[in-house]
Amino acid sequence: MADSSRPNIILILADDMGYSDIGSYGSEIRTPNLDGMADTGLRFSQMYNYARCCPSRATLLTGISPHRAGIGHMVSDLGVPGYRGFLNDECVTVAEALKLAGYRTLMSGKWHVGGEYDLQRPESWTPGDFCHPTPRQRGFDEFFGTLTGAGSYFNPLTLYRNETPETPDSPDFYYTDAIADNAVSMIDKAADGDAPFFLYTAFTSPHWPLHALEEEIARYEGRYRSGWDTLRTGRHEELRDSGILEQKWDITPRDASAPPWESVEDTDWEDLRMAAYAAQIDRMDQGIGRILAALDRHGIAGNTLVMFLSDNGGCAEFLAEDTGKPEPSKFDTPTLDGSKMQFGNVPGLRPGPGNTFMSYDLPWSNASNTPFRLYKHWVHEGGISTPFIVRWPEKIKAAAIVHEPAQLMDITATCLDAAGVAYPKEHNGVEIAPLEGESLMPIIEGREGRRQMPIFWEHEGNRAVRQGEWKLVSKFPGEWEIYNMTEDRTELMNLADGERDRVAAMSRQYAEWAERARVAQWPVRAKS
């Protein structure tokens, strides 16, 4: 049996899931396993991600800014140090640090921090070279999952088991289930060993395409015929009644690009798209339930730290994973049954099957991010706010809501602190960038816990600083805005005119951080 003095650690990441998309954060979607974690653990009301999948994963895994880790944008190589598109050798992953301290390190799911892969040219893939580091090269003893980002749930490309490529061998293959089932198998093997384990489980759910099983879609079909306005109102009320949000924080107006529900022509089809999205989350929660059940089965749940969150806010974009423009041809990959892929949000076409490729679109994304505005990609609250649930039965004795701001980079610091592991100053003979995240262990253990340093963001020129109750934010290429987050978490009243000195001081802080973090002026000029 594993050393009981050091905890096992499980980090679960959802993909493109909004702030209010699970039951314990106001949703009508059935997520009993995540809600059960919340019932006995901590729910953070102000946990922040990094607005987009690749930079979020980079900072989550390293505890430093994504630019310092080499992924200031996505996985394309822009030819400057902060934007190479893969984890560089000046960072150390949480898996590498824990492995050095004797942990068994495991990963199931989406990698997407190891360079770009042309899905149309498998012969060009070079996993393991300098520009394409794999999980096994960055500290994980065992890996099952995809090396790249979005794609089919029924026939995902760049699927590997350790260094060996795999293809689905069954018509019943569904990637969400495979991620969960492989995570369970890893727990089963690790639980019989002498070492504690770290398991990173990175689902692709509920990222587009809307690939879901028909029995799950049927569970929600008809649930959304009252529309996105009603959904936003209901979720906002639930969030306020639960104490996650303050009663005084008003919901943001419906996005100007989203039509009123009364003007929508094909409401049955819109209902189906949201039903398919809900089905993806429901199925992910079922997989999380199997992971938690494995801990119970082995009698190790008590001393296992489990954390759950999302990599960015709900997604209003479609077919623009690594660039700013839709690229349907990029995702035109084979289906298992040989049928032709149908791309696009085609009214009347039922979402779910493997030969469709659809998204739930901006109006439903606006509902996912209730009560905030904007989406994945931007650093206003809708793009960066995530549910964050922490369960650790031996440490957390009573459920609570935590209102202290925190960010993804704090998770590496927390994992190392929980395990009693020091952050290395060098790795493989290379000096490592200093850890920027702050451990959440004082909060987890019920001690006084206050953030010491500001939180910074930059993605595609969108910028922000959070310091105490103040947030400075800019939507590229716009001017700075400033909000008092104690009074106005939903960013409805820009106080920039009356807080010019504060804007100037915080913008200087941002500029100093951006220089340290290797942030380049946007747009970064790609290498020729």
| Alpha carbons 240 and 260: distance in angstroms, whole number | 24
| Secondary structure letter of residue 432 according to DSSP | P
Q: Are 385 and 313 in contact (CB under 8 A)?
A: yes
Angle at 282 between CA 381 and CA 347, to 5 degrees: 80
Nearest Cα residue to 518 out of 6, 69, 38:
69
Q: Are 42 and 402 in contact (CB under 8 A)?
A: yes
Q: Which of 54, 73, 91, 112 is catalytic?
A: 112
Give yes or no: 91 in active site: no
Q: Which of 53, 54, 91, 415 is catalytic?
A: 53
Residue 249's SS3 state is coil
DSSP string for residues in 208-232? SS-B--HHHHHHHTTTTTTHHHHHH
Nearest Cα residue to 209 out of 308, 346, 107:
346
Residue 428 neighbours by CB under 8 Å, 6+ apart: 89
Give yes or no: 403 in active site: no
Q: Are 70 and 85 in contact (CB under 8 A)?
A: yes
- Residues paired with residue 305 on neighbouring β-strands, in sequence order: 9
| Alpha carbons 314 and 232: distance in angstroms, whole number | 13
Which pair of structure tokens corresponds to residue 222?
Answer: 């008809």
| Alpha carbons 209 and 64: distance in angstroms, whole number | 30
Q: Are 357 and 343 in contact (CB under 8 A)?
A: yes
Cα dihedral sign, 150-152-153-157:
negative
For 260-411, list the strands marked E by DSSP. 304-310, 342-343, 356-357, 385-391, 400-402, 406-407
Position of tokens 């042309």?
118
Q: Please confirm whether the linkage preceding 81 is cis (ω < 30° from 0).
A: no
Q: What is the largest CA-CA distance in the chain?
A: 63
Which pair of structure tokens corresponds to residue 407?
Answer: 């960010």
Catalytic residues: 53, 112
